[in-house]
Amino acid sequence: MQSGTRRTMSEELPLEPPAIQIQGLSYSYGSGQTVLADITLSVARGERLALVGPSGAGKSTLLMHLNGLLPDRLPRDSERASVVVGGVPVRKSTVSEVRRVVGFVFQDPDDQLFCPTVREDVAFGPLNLGLSRDDVLRRISRSLDQVGLAGFENRSTLQLSTGERKRVCLAGVLACHPEVLVLDEPFANLDPRARRGLGRILREFPGAQVIATHDIEFVVELCDRVIILDGGQIRADGPVREVLSDELLIAQHGLEVPWCLRRAEG
């Protein structure tokens, strides 16, 4: 795990803060059942972290804490923040600043897209940042190009395939130039070409990424590090190949060893 400091030639200097720092985060919804239990982790700048685990493990709930999406429990200014992103403590008073740092892509595009056309949807974030009309247009064009949807500006968001709708969501997020990308099941319901295209986009994104996914093969291709979350607790945290080739550990948490890490059988 990242320590936040490293030894230089002659002295120990503090590194720039990690992209994400979570300290002792616990959470339960109204029912009282503990969904996250004392989560502590940090994600370095530029690091690609996969979050895997069975359904109901708490992955989406953890991701939502990174963007202040669970407002009922956001700490006030006087309280300690369990989550810090890009150096900004996630609190009631900092939510808009946090959302400038963190771009969040929901699992279901219906939760994200709400404008009639692709152009309007992608423009929404940059307009909220107060950018000039020309800058907004430039960002729309650039981000649609990045996700392979150049020329889709006037299309209705309702008349696109799921994969295209997901890419519009990502374009809207990229157009805001976030420092950190948080993606919930980005590969679900994508065909192989769309999955490869998304993989390319994520590889090119320079900032930190946290990706909750069941697509374990893509984790091996794409990510530096993986966390297994189960029952709201971190059960393993380490380099992808090391963690995901541990057959016993993987089976304990209802996962499967990726094909490319399986030992030759027979």
The residues that touch ligand ADP, with contacts defined as CB under 6 A, are 29, 31, 35, 53, 55-61
Question: Which structure tokens are listed for 83?
Answer: 């989550």
Q: What residue type is assigned to position 66 of the chain?
A: L
Return the number of the residue (207 or 232) whose C-beta is nearest ligand ADP: 232
| Residues paired with 103 in a beta bridge | 181
Helix axes 118-128, 133-146, angle to 10 degrees: 120
DSSP state of 187: T
Return the number of the residue (23 or 60) whose C-beta is nearest ligand ADP: 60
3-state helix/strand/coil string of 68-130: CCCHHHCCCCCCCCCEEECCEECCHHHHHHHHHHEEEECCCHHHCCCCCEHHHHHHHHHHHCC
Return the number of the residue (60 or 117) whose C-beta is nearest ligand ADP: 60
Q: Min. distance of Cβ 122 from ligand ADP in angstroms? A: 26
Return the number of the residue (119 or 166) whose C-beta is nearest ligand ADP: 166
Q: Min. distance of Cβ 230 from ligand ADP in angstroms? A: 9
Return the number of the residue (61 or 209) whose C-beta is nearest ligand ADP: 61
Q: Min. distance of Cβ 248 from ligand ADP in angstroms? A: 21
SS3 for 57? coil
d(CA 183, CA 155) in angstroms, rounded, equals 24
Q: Min. distance of Cβ 52 from ligand ADP in angstroms? A: 9
Q: Min. distance of Cβ 60 from ligand ADP in angstroms? A: 3
Asked if residue 218 lies in contact with residue 195, where contact means CB atoms within 8 angstroms, the answer is yes
Q: Min. distance of Cβ 181 from ligand ADP in angstroms? A: 17
Return the number of the residue (65 or 99) whose C-beta is nearest ligand ADP: 65
Q: Residue holding tokens 């794409």?
A: 222
Asked if residue 173 lies in contact with residue 125, where contact means CB atoms within 8 angstroms, the answer is yes
Q: What residue type is assigned to position 204 of the chain?
A: E
